[in-house]
Amino acid sequence: MNHMNDDGPEVAGPDVMELQGAFARRDDWQVKGWCRIERALDVIGTKSAMVIVRELLYGGTKFDELARRTQLSDAVASSRLKQLLADGIVERRPYQEPGQRTRYEYVLTDRGRALFPVLTALMDWGEDLEGDPRGGLEVTHRGCGAPVSAVVRCAEGHEVSVDEAAARIRDEAWAVAARERGRKASPPAVDN
Amino acid sequence: MNHMNDDGPEVAGPDVMELQGAFARRDDWQVKGWCRIERALDVIGTKSAMVIVRELLYGGTKFDELARRTQLSDAVASSRLKQLLADGIVERRPYQEPGQRTRYEYVLTDRGRALFPVLTALMDWGEDLEGDPRGGLEVTHRGCGAPVSAVVRCAEGHEVSVDEAAARIRDEAWAVAARERGRKASPPAVDN
DNA sequence: ACGCTGACTTTGCGATCCCTTAGTCAGCAT
DNA sequence: ATGCTGACTAAGGGATCGCAAAGTCAGCGT
């Protein structure tokens, strides 16, 4: 394990990410709750949450719109909206139509709208997945009319494919120290 | 749809997508299996599938690597890998280390690697989510070293925010006809 | 021949998701 | 006051997810 970068034949399939620095020893970094992907999925990892956000992005605001258009039951829509509310993805606003009592509409917060790339990436990926040869939706850039897709781009503006990407620990010195600390302070801190 | 764009007060919250064409009557298009997002989630909508793909992107290939690094149980890792295999996201390749018996390694297919934007978008979104002030991972562009993120971009190269996006039906004439057909042929075809 | 190891598979369990059906509850209409 | 409607909430149930522990199975080492 001291010489992990060149110990295998590694014939085919290096077309994934490169692990840099201490993270190259991948097995040293199995900490629960460490991965942002997992944390994201803990919040919006259910199908019902995703499709509700989808409808909110399509402009739905009222409870019955959201429930009907997502084809979720009232019960699921209700509890999921409550959870999305608690997680800061939607907020409720009172409104009143003439002759109606006060109701609430649901709108996405900034954090909710920030899910746009996630939904778009899923939509792109779902395209190659058998199904709609023609009936599907298309999301376009209003104004120029061109279809949109989710791409991975670096801060310098280059489009980045998987094999051009590298993963590393952001603040490695701190993380190594924290790991040492955690190891001594509370041995089972990883799992609980 | 004939007069749907200006029928409400619509005071606050138009900062989501615009629905164009026949899709502006959103309620006319509740068809099960119609949404690519849902179809995508039927395949990779579980946390276990996502984290396995994550590890595969990080270069893990062997069964025990994947199970250990994802912190999944053997059982879950096994059945999820089997499903990913069936769905064409991973493929198995036999390999043999000297003095060992033939084993299989798992590698992503093109379709699996195409999940890179999805995982990246989730990672980005998970960032604002309380947790790691410093300990987290960072994915960078190998070469220029700049951090990457998932963005929505149109075919013309413009970066597109939610409120600059529009959703419409790809082949509207066909879709309307198909809907009429379906309505006559099998009334409950929407729900079954 | 025998044991060991890595890679699964099986079994049994609790948690979560989502559904259907049946309430509740506020307040406008009558 | 009574009914009605829209917006939920509650209860019960099936499916799926994920876990831990135990079992299987191939083949290398001895």
* Mean pLDDT for all residues in chain A: 83
Three-class SS state of A126: helix
pLDDT recorded at residue B8: 38
Which pTM was predicted? 0.87
Residues B52-109: pLDDT tens digits? 999 999 999 999 999 999 999 999 999 999 999 999 999 998 877 666 777 889 999 9
Residues with CB under 7 A from strand C: A 45-49, 71-76, 80, 99-102; B 62-64, 74-75, 78-79, 81-82, 103-104
B65 vs A contacts (CB less than 8 Å): 26-27
Instruction: Tell me the mean pLDDT in the region A25-47.
Output: 88
Nucleotide nearest to A63 (CA to C1'): D7
Strands A90-96 and B18-19, by their bridges, are unpaired
Instruction: Tell me the mean pLDDT in the region A145-159.
Output: 97
Instruction: Tell me the mean pLDDT in the region A89-110.
Output: 84
B37 with A50: Cβ contact below 8 A: yes
Residues B134-172: pLDDT tens digits? 668 899 999 899 999 999 999 999 999 999 999 999 888
Look up the protein residue whose alpha carbon has the minimum distance to the C1' of C20. A73
Output B124 or A32, whichever has higher pLDDT.
Answer: B124
Instruction: Tell me the mean pLDDT in the region B19-43.
Output: 88
How many Å apart are A16 CA and D11 C1'? 49
Q: Which of A94-103, A122-131, B154-163 has the lowest mean pLDDT?
A: A94-103
Q: Closest chain A residue to B60 measured between Cα atoms? A: A26
Residue B64 makes CB contacts below 8 A (sequence gap 6+) with none
Distance from C-alpha of A48 to C-alpha of A8, rounded to nearest angstrom: 43
pLDDT recorded at residue B103: 81
Residues with CB under 7 A from strand D: A 62-64, 73-75, 78-79, 81-82, 103-104; B 45-49, 71-76, 80, 99-102
B147 vs A contacts (CB less than 8 Å): 154-155
pLDDT recorded at residue A18: 95
pLDDT recorded at residue B181: 73
